[in-house]
Amino acid sequence: MGAAMFYHLTQRPLDATLRMLLEKSLAAGWRVAVRGTRRDGLEALDRALWLGSEDSFLPHGMAGGAQDARQPVLLTTERDVPNGAQCVMAVHSAEIAADEVAALERVCILFDGYDEEALAHARGQWKALTGAGVAAQYWSEESGRWEMKAQAGS
């Protein structure tokens, strides 16, 4: 059974935090699906991920191509993960269900700490997932570095 990790962004932009988490996930040998709610938002992340330094190449692609199943990181608006992802990273308030968390190694939920709607959505997801028995951790970068502030489940 997997776990849900909530990342409350207040210091670094989404693309920087996403890059860090994607690099760690790939180093663990996982395939990843980055799930968003808007294609234009994912296209902006796609562009930002290509702009990393040469020594931090991050192989990824947008869903809808002929090579979706081969992508180590697939950006998508769909729940389906044709790349066989072991980890899903939810951005832009994308929905995550308890059964998904159970079927994956990890789910990461990244949300903007300065967006009231995103905060409310993340709180609702925390309540729904932990209420369904999902193990979850809440991480904050408020101090300038990532610190776990809360934990629920086993």
Contact 148, 135 (CB under 8 A): no
Report, as an integer, the average pLDDT of 116-129. 97
- Residues near 30 by Cβ (< 8 Å), separated by ≥ 6? 85, 86, 87, 105, 106
- Say whether pTM exceeds 0.85: yes
**CB atoms closer than 10 angstroms to residue 154:** 8
Nearest alpha-carbon partner for 49 in 91, 85, 18, 89: 18
Superfamily of domain 3-152: DNA polymerase III subunit chi (3.40.50.10110)
Report, as an integer, the average pLDDT of 119-144. 95
- Helix/strand/coil for 33: strand
pLDDT digits 0-9 by tens, 97-117: 999 999 999 999 999 999 999
